[in-house]
Chains A and B, each alone.
Chain A
Amino acid sequence: MNLTIFPWMIAVPLGASPLVYLAGRLFRPSWVRGLALFALLLSWIPFVLIFTGQGMQLSFNVETIGLQADGISLLLAAVTLALGTVVVLFSGPYMAGEVGEEKYYAMLLAMIGFMIGLGCAKDLFNFWMWFEAMAVSSYLLVAFYREVPASLEAGVKYLVQSAVGSVFVLLGIALVLGNTGSLDMDEIRSATGTLPQSGLALAGAFFVIGFGVKVALVPLHTWLPDAHSQAPSGISAMLSGVVIEAGLIAMLRALSTLGILSVSWGMLFLGFGTLNMLFGNLMALQQTQVKRMLAYSSLSHIGYMLLGIGFALSDGQQAGAQGAAFHLFNHMLMKGLAFLAAGAFMFALFHQNQVQRSLEVKDLAGAARKYPLAALTFSIALLALGGLPPLAGFMSKWQIFVAGFQSGNGWLMGLVIFAALNSVLSLAYYAPVVNMMYRQKMGDAIEQGKSIPLAMNISLVLLALSIVVIGLWPSLMNWLTEPAGQAILSAFGQ
């Protein structure tokens, strides 16, 4: 049997997107929730078949345009589908009755499809097309509450910075095309060996700047805290848990075509990783708004992933790349859960009381008495983000640290110690939130809060259970992270 089934992972959400919109327009708006959830569950079928079926074809060509599924694509597909499904489930009650509810689901499904496509693209220009399409759908979602000035402002900032970033990416593509005469990633990889290095290094710099805006490398991060805190909570979870990671994977893919320079890329990743960790933590410490704090903590978690990839590229440690892939997956679970739990509180405390404001840390005082389940899952997410054993976040950080130590290089070991200290520093802003929920007297906001709907609780519990289970048995995820780690290393020619 020679089935090409993986393109359906991309085709189903993309095809469902206009259908969901039409269904919402022509029939009852309440149908769109079920339809969107159904479409995402349907996209799981090809994904599962890739792993269980026999002899699946993992590349697909229409004329000269090709798609392929390797370890990195499957990691991105798993992360996107998992969080996407939970977010659609969560958004059911959260977005119910909003103006333009059908547009929300249509754009969300489109964004999911474009992101899976981004992971599978085989040629540099198609790759940019997926990237840009994903970006456009995320601009619209960030500015979804268009009557709220702050979210409009966040959307404008995000759009302008991303648009400049994509200009840089295109300049890099033009340089690569001019130098090699090809856009196929494999052809570029084999052509770069004989070419002068200066043009390619410049193209690499353009890729780092261009994709760096999406990944939120410090100092290109300024859009991130605004966009992540002002978007609807489900979208915050998607942006923080999947979109910036998709940017990271895009950057790795583009840079790996210039793989000949891989050692210096490793050093670059280590440098940016260190900067992101420190800056993200220091900024998060000052925040009083819950979602803004979580947004800054995403910066520091991107730092851990960059560190793992840096260890892999500068020292050939496969454990580093695998750890980065594992942390990417865990970050999706943890940050997704944290944003959704914050969203559940916002829904119960503010939206149902027709209040329109952001959630402050002090609003959560005594939340555990009234909302034991939401408070427990939020605490699990925060403690896992802070890297407390035996939760999932600890396991992936540990794997990255082990990779650093195995290198036996004094500098890299120093970086591991720095990263571990940063992890402790991050507890300084996670722990007070947990403390606020469990040990304070109930505040006014909590007392006036309404109940949290069942669909939201289900999605919170699903994510919290995965964090605990993966934390106890981290080797459960090896089927996903090991091929991804190998694919990262082999793409960079090591």
Chain B
Amino acid sequence: MTLDPLNAVLIGVILLLAVGFYGLLITRNLIKIVLVLQILVKAVVIALVLAGKASGQPGLGQSIAATVIVADTIVAVVALALAVQVRIRFGTLDLSKISSLRG
């Protein structure tokens, strides 16, 4: 059985998403959570390029993917800035140790 390249990419996207969501469930370290979010977004970026290719609009898909990378970098920067503050104020990056807000 030969694998269609588009399907191969689709399988890659699904695997990356699976890795990302699994990581989100087990990770408690704030820096690692930022990394996991990056994995998820990279999966989406590939999915957008794939969607553009599959629908016959490769240019549209690629330009969107590039924009998502830029937008997501900003989110990552804000997240890391918060992580720095968390490390300074709490002395730890472990999310399970900093939660005080309940109910």
**Interface residues in chain A, defined as those with a beta carbon under 8 Å from any beta carbon in chain B:** 125, 129, 132-133, 135-136, 139-140, 143, 146-147, 149-150, 152-157, 159-160, 163-164, 166-167, 170-171, 173-175, 177-183, 225-226, 229-230, 283, 286-287
Contact = CB atoms under 8 A, between A and B. Distances in A.
Contacts of A173: 48, 64
A178 B55 contact: yes
Contact of B57 (A150, A153, A181): A181
14 contacts: A132-B75, A146-B89, A152-B82, A153-B99, A156-B79, A156-B82, A156-B83, A156-B95, A159-B78, A159-B79, A167-B37, A167-B41, A173-B64, A229-B101
A230 B68 CA distance: 30
Given A132-B71, A153-B100, 18 more contacts: A139-B78, A150-B100, A153-B86, A156-B83, A159-B75, A160-B37, A160-B79, A164-B37, A166-B75, A170-B47, A170-B48, A174-B50, A177-B51, A178-B54, A182-B57, A183-B60, A225-B103, A283-B103
A164 B40 contact: yes
B51 A153 contact: no
Name the residue in B67, B68, B74, B83 with the highest tally of chain A Cβ atoms < 10 Å from its Cβ: B68
B15 to A, nearest CB: 14
Interface of B: 17, 20, 24, 30, 33, 37, 40-41, 44, 47-48, 50-52, 54-57, 60-61, 64, 67-68, 71, 74-75, 78-79, 82-83, 85-86, 89-90, 95, 98-101, 103
A125 B55 contact: no
Contacts, number: 111
B103 A180 contact: no
Contacts of B101: 150, 153-154, 157, 225-226, 229-230
A385 B75 CA distance: 35
Contact of B24 (A125, A164, A166): A164
- A-B pairs with the 7 shortest C-beta distances? A178-B51, A181-B55, A177-B51, A174-B47, A174-B51, A170-B44, A226-B101
Contact of B37 (A140, A147, A163, A175): A163
Given A136-B78, A163-B79, A149 B100 contact: yes
Interface majority SS on B: helix, strand, loop or mixed?
A: helix
A202 B33 CA distance: 26
Contacts of B79: 156, 159-160, 163
B50 A178 contact: yes
A299 to B, nearest CB: 13
B51 A175 contact: yes
A360 B6 CA distance: 58
Nearest to A173: B48
A179 B47 CA distance: 12
Contacts of B86: 152-153, 156
Given A132-B75, A149-B98, A153-B98, A174 B55 contact: no
Contact of A171 (B24, B47, B90, B98): B47
A283 B17 CA distance: 33
B89 to A, nearest CB: 5
Name the residue in B51, B90, B100 with the highest tally of chain A Cβ atoms < 10 Å from its Cβ: B51
B11 to A, nearest CB: 15
A174 B60 contact: no
A135 B74 CA distance: 11
A452 to B, nearest CB: 28
B89 A149 contact: yes
B100 A177 contact: no
Name the residue in B40, B52, B101 with the highest tally of chain A Cβ atoms < 10 Å from its Cβ: B101
Contacts of A175: 51
Name the residue in A143, A154, A167, A286 with the highest tally of chain B Cβ atoms < 10 Å from its Cβ: A167
Contact of B40 (A155, A157, A167, A226): A167
B85 A152 contact: yes
Nearest to B74: A136
Contacts of A183: 60, 64
Name the residue in A150, A160, A180 with the highest tally of chain B Cβ atoms < 10 Å from its Cβ: A160
A483 B44 CA distance: 36
Contacts of A177: 48, 51-52, 55, 57, 60-61, 64
Given A177-B48, A179-B55, A180-B55, A155 B82 contact: yes
Given A170-B68, A171-B47, A286-B103, A152 B89 contact: yes
Contacts of A179: 55
Contacts of B103: 225, 283, 286-287
A65 to B, nearest CB: 11
Contacts of A136: 74-75, 78
A174 B24 contact: no
Nearest to B24: A164
A286 B102 CA distance: 12
A118 B58 CA distance: 26
A149 B57 CA distance: 47
A179 B50 CA distance: 11
A143 B82 CA distance: 8
Nearest to A129: B71
B44 to A, nearest CB: 4
A158 B70 CA distance: 21
